[in-house]
Structure formats: C-alpha cells, structure tokens
Structure 1
Amino acid sequence: MDARVIADEDRVPEFVAALGRGGAPSEGRAVQRILYVTSEMADYVKAGGLGDVSAALPRSLGQRYDVRVLIPGYRQVTSREEDIPVVARLPAAHGLPACELGRIDCPDGLTVYVILCPDLYDREGSPYGDESGADWADNDIRFGRLGLAAAQIAAGVPDLGWTPSLLHLNDWPSALGSAYVAWAGLQTPSVLTIHNLAYQGLFDPSRLPGLGVPDSAFGVEGVEFYGKLSFLKAGIVYASHVTTVSQTYAREITTPEFGCGLDGLLRKLDGEGRLTGILNGIDESWDPRTDRHLESPFDPNDLKGKKANADEVRREFGLAVSRGPLFAVVSRLVHQKGVDLTIESTESIVRQGGQVVVTGRGEERFERAMQKLAERYPAQVGVRIGFEEQRARRMFAGSDFLLMPSRFEPCGLSQMYAQRMGSLPIARQTGGLADTIKDGVTGFLFRDPSLGAMLSAIYRAVDAFGSRRKLNAMRRAAMSETYGWTRSAAGYCGVYDRALAGPSQ
C-alpha cells in the first residue's frame, strides 16, 4: 500500500471533524499563501540555526508570497508580547488538546500565529526540554499539536479568514503536519526542510492513539522506524517535496554514512526529483563596518580594526597579550561538531604560539574538558560555557581562524559569519562547509574526521598567518563572499512553485 494514501475506513472521524472544512483559498488569486511552521524563531526563542532561518527566510520570501509563521506559544513568546489577540480556536482531537490561535503583527509586516496552550508550552527551559537539558516527556503531544494546528489551518478556519496554499514544515517538531494533511484527505501541498537528519523525533508506538496516527500508517512504508514512531520520517513520506540546507548535505543523506537509517527512503525521493538542497543565508547585520557590538569597525580594504577586536577578545577571556594567531570555537559542544578533535588539537596550537577562545554549551564531558584546558593554559586558552550572541560576534571579528571540525554539518552558519568578519574557517569538507568554504582561498578544509587531518589544516593556516600578504588576501576574499537570503529564497520559490503545480509537473 502506498503510504501516502490512507483508505477512507482508516481515517479517524474525530480527527477529520477536528480539521473542519472552510475558508479555502479562492481560485485564481495571484499571490500564493505560505504557512511557515517552525519550533523556533530568533525573534522570540532560539536553540540553534533553525531559529535564525525561521526569522529570516519568511521575511525574504514575503517579497513574492503571502507568508505567515506558525509557532508554539512558549513562555518566551507570550512574555515578550503584552497582549496577543486571539483570532481563532482550534478544536481537540484524540490526545491533542484544544488551543487558541493568537496573532502577532511584527513591525516589518510579518504575521506570526501563536498556538496558545499554556499546559503544553508555558514552561521554563528551551523549546524541547527543561533547564537541565532533559527532553520534555510529552514532546510528542507538544509537537503533534503543532503539526495538527498546521493541518487545521490548511483545512480552513473560518474565523481566521486566511487559508494557506502550501505548508512549509521544518524538522521533526512540525513534520507530522504533512501526515495529518494526508490522513484527512486534504490536497494542500507541503514542503519539509531537514535542518538536521540526526534528530528524528522518535516515540514509543504506545503514543500512536493519542496522536491520532492510523494503524495502517505504522509500517515500514509509513511512519515506523525500527519499531518506533518517527515524526521526521512521517514528514518525509507525506511531504510533496523535501529540502535540506545545503546541496552537499542533500547528496550525503542519500548514503548510509550520513542517512541515519533513512538513506533508502531519501534515495527514492531523490530519484523522483523530490529532494533538493538549498543553502541557508545570513542576515545583513553581520557586517564589520557597521556592527555596534565590535570594538572597532573594519572592512576588506582597511583591516587594521581586526587587531583592536582581537585585543578586546583577549582581554575579555583573560588571555595574555600575543602576536600569535587567535583561534575561535563558537559551537555546540557535542560529538557531531568534532569538539573532541578541537580539544586534542589545542595543545599543538598552543605550542605553535597560538591561543584559543571557546564559547558554547553541550555535553558535560566536553564542557569539563574545555574548562580543564583553560586551567592548564590560562594565558592561552579561554572558555565561556554558554552562549551570548554579542560575545560570539566579537570572537568572529577578533579571531584569525575559526575551528569547525564537524563530523557532519547540514549547513552551518558560523563559517559564514566568520568569513564575513575576516576569520578564516578551518573545517571538515562536509555538508554546507564544503559548499561555503574555498580551500586555500577563504579557509582551510580537510577530509577525514581525524586529528592528523585537522592538524594538517591547522599547520597550513599557521603558515598563512606567517605571511601578512597571503593572510590579508584570504581575509579579503572571505569577506567578499555573499551569503544573503535572496539566493536562498529564489531556491525555495522554485520548490514551492513545483509543489503548488502538483505531482505531474
């Protein structure tokens, strides 16, 4: 049985009734309506790169489409907005509670719909877990509610007066939206963007009834993944089109090495022309000429200001005055990011006269290891556990090199930020890093996720540092790279148009 088609008798009447029928878009309307569904948005709450993308991409797409954002009403959202007017009520279905839909009109004209359900979202912590980092036990309900809300809006909510032509879903938290649309027999197309395939949203099959998942959908051709329910697989199976956040990552995830057990399904999509890589962008605030958080402005034609920023970073991290190279780490401290390789390479960097500054949070073992390095080399290694964007900006502007030895990197934003600020990335040749760094021109790439390969790239960087002419030429080349959202938006426009045209196109 084709997993994208669920027989009438398998549909749950309560669920279909909850979706309703009303407010469908009128035919022939010139401007298509896009509902951008996300679990993060940097305007309010951000746990990773998805938050930045969700703040920038809908705004860039708004030049062509009527784009509106749907996000859960976390405490970070409701506490920032004094009064969020309620514009609709969405009914309950199975174990997914009823909720209200609020509306925020941003100063720049972007409309954000907020799912107001305090029992699910009004909590301290991140979008996904408590303050200790533990996942919320009811994340299936919390994000099943997000996907259901998207499907209910797609079905038409009369009080809303707006019905999307297409759903744009992001990662596992919203991925179930495409499945709900299919199970209800709706024709609304959907695009799912995979920002990181490693996070799939896996839950015990005992949770299926509460989510309204039809029994017939729980199989190898449907939402089942090694005996568990996979939100992300559901999104991949039922979406009209799947995108990833770089061209290289789109190719990589069709292989066993990077496919996280879904490579076969993704190869199938690729063969059908329904898998596309579109590189993320960065916003225009990453400009060393105008960034107010920097100690001194600078530009490609006048790089003197980099030294003032480097001196400020050294003071901030308590490092000794030095003429040697300054290496930065701005990263989640997790295995994916190759943090163990960074830790192992630090002693060699220090021996060559370099210094390392680190900011980030992650696995406790890596946090402890970084702090021990700072204790061992207090004048050469500085560590700040946690993340503050202003500090990160100063680190990008002040450092000579950015260490980014990721084992895999769907897109990566730090290497783009670094290049705009004249810091040359030293990175593994994978995913978006391969797509955004020109080896020996705007940074240094290495292939194998090994200490030897990383040290070889570091030695090349140190050699370049020894030649002011070569170093500044690379800095200028890096700063001249453009990673604006216009190009990314154009890629999504193509995908949207294909999805809206239907499967025959």
Structure 2
Amino acid sequence: GRIGSGLGVKIGGLGVIIEELPPELVKAAARQNIELEIEILSPCFGHYDKSRLARLDLNLPVTLAGQTFNFEAYEYLFPDQQKVIYFWDDWQLNWTNANAIYPDDPQVGLRLYASVCQAMAGYIKQGNFDTVHLHDYHVGLLPFYLGDDYLRRTPVHFTIHNATYQGVTPLVGGGYQSLDRINLPGERLFHKYFDFFDNLNLMKACMLKVHEIGGKITTVSGDIAGTWGYAAELKEGHAQIWARAYAQKGSPPGEVFVPNRHLDLFEKLPITGITNGMGRSNWPQNLPELKAAVLQVTQVKRGPDNPIFKNPITQNSMLSSDHNFDAQNLPVKAELKRLLHLEAFGSEPEWDPILITAVGRLVDQKNLGLIADIMEHTMIYDGGAKFIILASAPEGDAAGKASEANFFRLAAMYPSRVYFNNSFNLPLSKLILAGGDFTLIPSRFEPCGLVDYEASLLGNIVIGRATGGLTKVRQCAYLYEWLDISDRAGEANAFFRQIQAAIDTYRHNPVRHGQLIQQAMAIDASWDSSAAQYIQMYRYGLMVEDWYAKRQKVIESFVASLKQEELAIFSKFFMPGQQEYADTFNWELEQALVKSFDSAA
C-alpha cells in the first residue's frame, strides 16, 4: 500500500488492506482498552528510494542452495505513525518496480519468497512481538523459518486474500531437495506440509502449520463461522459446485470454477471470514476526487496539454467547485450524472438516460468481457440505456485485448450510447462511479470486492454475479447466480435478466429505486467491525497459547502419575487415530509417553 508515498505498491486489493488496516487496528484496540503497536514487514522493492529510509544495524543471514548472504533491513515511520520495516537484497529484488513485483518464473518466485521470509524471521526473532499476522502465500514460509520453539510462544494467524494463487511450484530434483535448497529440512517437512500433486504448495503448508499451532486461518469476506462470502465458497469442493450448477441449469454443466483450486484442505480446516472494510475517504462526502482543490493539484501535475476531463464543461465544473454529496443531498449526484454524460458523449443528456457503468481490469477474474455480450440487447430493451466503460487489459493478455477490441468496436458502432476508455484515469473512474446509475460486476470470483462498496456508497447500484464478497451488498443490488463458466451464452442471459429487472425498477418504480440508493449509501463499509474482530482474534491467539501450555502440563502430570507397570500397559494399548481421525492432544500424549520410556531406559 501507500503508493502515493513512493514507498508502496498497489497491485490488487492487498495493497489497499496493508495501507488501511493497521491504523484501524490501533483504533479498535484502543476502544477495547488495549495499547497496540504494529510493525508492517515488507520487501523493499527496487523503485523505493532507500535514502529516505533508516538502515537498521541487524544481521539477517539468508541461505539459498547452500550459499549464505545477508539481507539489509530499513525502517520508515509514516505520518500516521505506522512503522514499516523493509527488507532488501540487490540480487533478489533489484528487478522489481512499481508495476512488477511478482516473478513469472515460479522457481525465481520461490527463491524470492524464501529469502525474504528468512530475513523477516530473523528480524522477528530478535524482537519482542506478541502476535504475528501473515497475509497470503508469499509469506507462507515464515512459520517454518521461525521454528517450533518460537511458535510455541507466539501466536501466528494467516489471512488468505485470494486462494487462486497458492504458491504452487514444480519440484526440481524431488520434494526433499526442493525444500533443502531454500534452507528447510525437506525430508521432515515435504510430505507432511508441502506436497501437492508433486508440487510445493506454500499456502497449503502455511495453513497446516498455523492450524497445528492453534492460529486462525481467515479470509476477506464472510463471518466468523464461515457461513457466507468467500469463507463459505472456499469450503466447497468440485463435486458440490458441479451439483449446484446441474440443479441451476437443469442439465450437466460443462465446467465449473472451484474457488479453492482443488485444495481440499479448505474443506477440512475451519476458515473464518472477516470482511474487509474501506477507508472513510471513499464516502461521497469525503471523496478527494470530487474536491476541486485536489483535482487542481492533479491537473498541474498532468500539465496544461493533458486535461483530466476531455469535455470542457466537465473539466471547468469539476475543477472550479466541490461536488461532494451524501444521501440527503442527491441533487449533486444528479449534476455529476450530467457532467459524466457530457464527458462520455459530448452532449447534454436528453430525456432520462440510464448510465450503466463498469470500472476495472479486463482479466479473466473480473469477467468484464461479458458486458459486451449484453450491450445490444440492453440498448434494444431500453432506448435510454447507455454504457460507460473504463477498463484495460494487461499487456500480453490475449483474451483481455480481444475484449478491448470488442468494446472499441461497439463504441464506434454506437457513439451516442457506448463509451469505452482503456487508459488509467483515477478522477474519471470516480466520476463514473459517482455519476452512474448502475455498475456492472460479473466477476468470476471475488474474495472481497472493493468496487461494489465504492459504487454502493456513491449511490451507484450494483448489478453483478452472486459470488464471494459481492454478496455483502446483496440487500441493495441485483445479483445473478451462475456456475457453468463454459456456457457463456447462459451466463449472459442470467446477467441480462438482472439488468432488465434493474431497468424496470428504475423506469416504473422510482420509489423502490430511491430506496435502493438510500440502502446502498447507508452500508456500513467502515473498518470498525472488521478491525474489532481482528483484535478479538489476536486476543484469542494469546488464550490458545495459554491453553496449549496448560494442556502440556496436564499431559506431563498424567504421565508422571503412572507407575512403571501402568505406563507399560497404557503405552501398549494407547494408539492415536491417523489423518482426519487424529487428535493432536492424543499425539502429544503419545510423544510424552515415548519420552518417558526413553528417560526410563
């Protein structure tokens, strides 16, 4: 996070969370009368200016392929008093930049994650931390480098932001050697934690280890029991999803998307949902991109020949006065709709157009290419329906580039009803969300979702697929159910039916549409509840550590109470269950019995 500072990157939603969550945790802890200090540990990416950072005098040795070298650690205190520790090695990180931090080569990635995790573990063990909170598989090796002695003293929790990416890495020279090369004992760890169809799976290993030591595995939408959102989806296997798709279609589905990517560990371990919040700067009354002074500064940076908005009326209006609003001041939103229409179509809106918007990336996950399939049907259904799309495809993404071409084709065919822009323009994206009537989010999967929150808070009603975190706005949105990803036409029909329902409500039941806007803008999207739950999780972790220590004493007391003959009889018949029937407490007792026999011998 913190991309504006020059000391952060924001590739995906994790960057937003790392920026916004820590200060909210401090506030939540204070409300529970807890004084909380947080240190954020991050790689130091190649474009960061290290002259702004304070070098720490620490020895952080890292070993890869038998070669040992030292990482450097730097400290920076942000104005909001959040401390970040950056870890740097020229060999591992000099290739990274603001647009590229994840290696394409999985072996390069494994070496990067292993080296950074070793450096972080070295730093953590020299500190006095009460809890360690891991985010995504990139730091999934950390518990193994921290070691069992440390893990017995300090709770570790693991939050999964996107289970599609699990750190699956092909073996080189077998599983044992693959781990040995990154300074882990392969023979002891590979089969128990890492083996995944003859690959290493860093997420699987981390999940198993964290669960084993009593930590919590969480994800970014759902409830504590994991009954809805992404937490619930991750617990579903292929057979269960396929059966639901069959029931949905009334015929066998061709292909279904499995959010846990066939890692059945998700179906066996307890997964807790703690739904992400959003910073209050995203509320319409606070949104910086609706403030004239902020836009004026942005315009100066862009230069006089590169206006933020191409339409002169929109440009002049947005930069001359503030356009913030709230649910009691919707005429400002109506004016933003007018300015958006001018920007997109170059004319004043006539009659009462319905502005249907979409903002995002043209990648497989977001499924925005499906919008092109329903555009003409929608424009035929309602003569005033218009589309405003701001989206782009990554370089090298053939499917995404094909979607771009399709949108450009439709915009050329219907210039007064379809607007498409594939350039990045943050103020324009906020104007689109603030001025639009509906926003389209047909995501293939969505662990949490940010655009649905952003749009809803701005009174832009979501029309999308009922998946993962998007269901958190269900009460004020039009969501369709569809699981067969091979049947694009079937999904387009399901999507279109929700668009029809939204248009019908807008045209024929304005009272109901107004109620939806009020409900959407009243959503509690703040971090307050989420941060409070994380603080409770940290407190729980400390309690679990205490329980594990006390139960160890129970075991030791029981074994010590047995006479020699009793010890022999008990050990002879006591056999803990295996695999899913195993009981950790029983296995700890088994280990204590063996230790007792060894001592007696």
What interval of TM-score do these two structures reach, taking the shorter chain for normalisation?
0.7 to 0.9
CA shift for structure 1 position 73? 0.7
Name the SS for the 2:141 alignment partner.
Answer: helix
Look up the match of 1:85: 54
Q: Distance in 2 between matches of 1:41 and 1:264?
A: 35
- CA change 1:91–1:475 in 2 (3 A) is same
Look up the match of 1:297: 324
Look up the match of 2:124: 154
CA shift for structure 1 position 483? 0.9
Deviates more, 1:184-193 or 1:44-53: 184-193
Look up the match of 2:487: none
Look up the match of 2:12: 48
CA shift for structure 1 position 424? 0.5
- CA change 1:263–1:124 in 2 (3 A) is closer
Look up the match of 1:230: 201
CA shift for structure 1 position 451? 1.3
Q: Distance in 2 between matches of 1:366 and 1:217?
A: 43
Look up the match of 2:402: 368
Asked if structure 2 preserves the Cα contact closer than 8 Å seen for 1:255 and 1:263, the reply is no
Look up the match of 2:457: 420
Asked if structure 1 preserves the Cα contact closer than 8 Å seen for 2:170 and 2:200, the reply is yes
> What is the identity percentage for the equivalent residue pairs of Structure 1 and Structure 2?
26
Choose from 445, 455, 478 the match for 2:479.
445
- CA change 1:92–1:376 in 2 (3 A) is same
Look up the match of 1:345: 374
Look up the match of 1:189: 155
Q: Distance in 1 between matches of 2:164 and 2:192?
A: 20
Choose from 82, 87, 90 the match for 1:118.
90
Long gaps (5+) in structure 1: 1-39, 157-161
Choose from 474, 483, 505 the match for 1:464.
505
Choose from 418, 429, 435 the match for 1:398.
435
Q: Distance in 2 between matches of 1:61 and 1:127?
A: 29
Asked if structure 2 preserves the Cα contact closer than 8 Å seen for 1:319 and 1:382, the reply is no
Choose from 169, 173, 194 the match for 2:138.
173
Q: Distance in 1 between matches of 2:524 and 2:86?
A: 33
CA shift for structure 1 position 394? 1.6
Asked if structure 1 preserves the Cα contact closer than 8 Å seen for 2:387 and 2:419, the reply is yes
> Deviation per CA, 1:24-76, whole angstroms, max 9, x where unpaired?
xxxxxxxxxxxxxxxx5555210111111111111111232211101111134
Deviates more, 1:260-269 or 1:477-486: 260-269
- CA change 1:98–1:339 in 2 (3 A) is same
Choose from 540, 544, 548 the match for 1:502.
544
Name the SS for the 1:98 alignment partner.
Answer: strand
Give the TM-score, by structure 2 length: 0.70
Q: Does residue 268 in structure 1 map to residue 295 in structure 2?
A: no
> Deviation per CA, 1:183-237, whole angstroms, max 9, x where unpaired?
6764332111111100111212224333223223554541122111112112211
Greater share of residues in helix: 2
Look up the match of 1:19: none
- CA change 1:213–1:184 in 2 (3 A) is farther
Q: Does residue 486 in structure 1 map to residue 528 in structure 2?
A: yes
Choose from 74, 84, 96 the match for 1:102.
74
- CA change 1:137–1:379 in 2 (3 A) is farther
Look up the match of 1:357: 388
Asked if structure 2 preserves the Cα contact closer than 8 Å seen for 1:42 and 1:52, the reply is no
Asked if structure 2 preserves the Cα contact closer than 8 Å seen for 1:153 and 1:164, the reply is no
Provide the aligned length of Structure 1 versus Structure 2: 449
Asked if structure 1 preserves the Cα contact closer than 8 Å seen for 2:281 and 2:288, the reply is no
One-letter code aligned to 2:167: G
Name the SS for the 2:327 alignment partner.
Answer: coil
Q: Does residue 241 in structure 1 map to residue 275 in structure 2?
A: no
> Deviation per CA, 1:469-494, whole angstroms, max 9, x where unpaired?
33222111110111111111111112
> Deviation per CA, 1:428-483, whole angstroms, max 9, x where unpaired?
11211112331xxx211111151121111101111122143332221111101111
Q: Does residue 163 in structure 1 map to residue 190 in structure 2?
A: no
Long gaps (5+) in structure 2: 30-35, 173-177, 223-228, 239-257, 291-317, 484-490, 549-601
